[in-house]
Amino acid sequence: MSRIGKKPVPVTSGLKVAVQDHLIKVEGPKGKLQMTVHPSMTVKYDDARKELVVTRPDDQRQNKALHGLTRSLLANMLQGVAQGYQKTLEIQGVGYKAELKGKSLVLSVGYANTISVPVPAALQVKVEANKVHVAGADKQLVGQFASDVRRVRKPEPYKGKGIRYEGEVVKIKPGKAFAGAGAK
């Protein structure tokens, strides 16, 4: 039995959960989310205990994997609509900056042109000094948008310039001058 899959997902107060066949809808203070679960998985909402229970039909390898996955995705949905998810990106480099223009994030990160990244409607993006804050109810969407922004200019290993996650450590390599000094 899947250790994660057999744990029930607790539903906190203030959240509305609707289970219709394989479509699960969740609504809370941070937004609304819905997910279609795999046809072999069964999700039931126990209103008395305020929890979602995921069951699988048998012990086949795929069903074991889907059991834990489905439970984790449901737990992420419930946490997203209750508290939300947030990622912060840092922009490091002389003259590097970001600003919001309408529904897009405009990045000036050392290229000849500015790069415009469209912001999905379900996300809230704030820019302050050299930081970009991405927040939303959908964990996958928050992470994907943050990854797309970081991909515009990854931190380079010699000076550390670029866009990185907050708290990300970039290992700085020694340059030519230092590497050549040891050869003499």
> pLDDT band at 27, cuts 50/70/90?
very high
Task: List the domain range (segments joined by +) for residue 136.
Answer: 85-165
In the predicted structure, residue 89 carries a pLDDT above the cut 60? yes
* In a domain? residue 109: yes
Position with higher pLDDT, 157 vs 179: 157
Residues 114, 125, single domain; the answer is yes
- Tell me the per-residue pLDDT of 98-108, one tens digit each, with 9 for 90 and over: 999 999 999 99
Q: Are residues 134 and 105 in the same domain?
A: yes
Measure CA 181 to chain center: 44
94 and 148 share one domain = yes
pLDDT level of residue 177 (50, 70, 90 thresholds) = confident
Query: Average pLDDT in the 132-142 region?
Result: 97
How far, in Å, CA of 146 to CA of 133, rounded? 9
Q: Are residues 48 and 118 in the same domain?
A: no
pLDDT beyond 80 at 179:
no
Q: Within this chain, do residues 153 and 89 fall inside the same structural domain, yes or no? A: yes
- Taking 90 as the threshold, does the pLDDT of residue 5 lie above it? no
The CATH number for 147's domain is 3.90.930.12
Is 174 a member of any domain? no
The total domain count for the chain is 2
- Please give the model's pTM, rounded to 2 decimal places: 0.88
